[in-house]
Structure 1
Amino acid sequence: MNVLVISFSSAPRDGRVLRQVDVLRRLGRVALCAMDAEQVPGVDPIPVVFEGRSFWEKVRALPSLMFGDPMNYYDGLKYVANARRLLEGRRFDLIVAND
């Protein structure tokens, strides 16, 4: 079974993600899409680099959050776009997404 764990936190410092990886490894191969994913042993790392937004990028994104269009907001985040690019074409049997 191919499992994907997604987290936009620093994986080696996130106990919740580490516990998920430990449990899911029993099911099969685990890919970890997270910041610092390469530092977690026993996973197929898909490292995401966090890139902050400038002040003006945040101002432009504000209407999306204010008027209930969160998908537009998240699509504009550089690290989300990077993760989508890295995951394109890959197939998984189980996906665990952390907020």
Structure 2
Amino acid sequence: MTEVFVIRNQLGHFWGKSKAWVDGRDPRAVVRVKHQDEGINTLFELSAKDVGLRGEVVAADLGPKGEPLLEVSDIPLPTPPEAAEDPAPGADSDAATAPDETQQDA
């Protein structure tokens, strides 16, 4: 078999084995299926959860190591919401939530 199918979204990211979008730098992390209809079924399930998804099932040739040859996306992966909310380690998180002391003296 010299061809597999992968799922690519409108940003050029690929559906990964970790059930998250990956940029294609590590082809081992990309979900690949032998049959196009398997990919279509997975894409249908993904688009049912994300109505803004514009994806496609594309054929990918396999390289000498058996990994799909993919074009890496230039668009950065979105930051997960929980990672964006966490303050940086060592950051003073109380400063943003501390009440203004001038108002307490009144």
Bin for the TM-score computed over the shorter chain:
under 0.3
Structure number with higher relative contact order (C-alpha < 8 Å, ≥ 6 residues apart): 1
TM-score normalised per structure 2: 0.26
> Going by fraction, where is strand more abundant, 1 or 2?
1
Say which one has the larger Rg. Answer: 2
> Going by fraction, where is helix more abundant, 1 or 2?
1
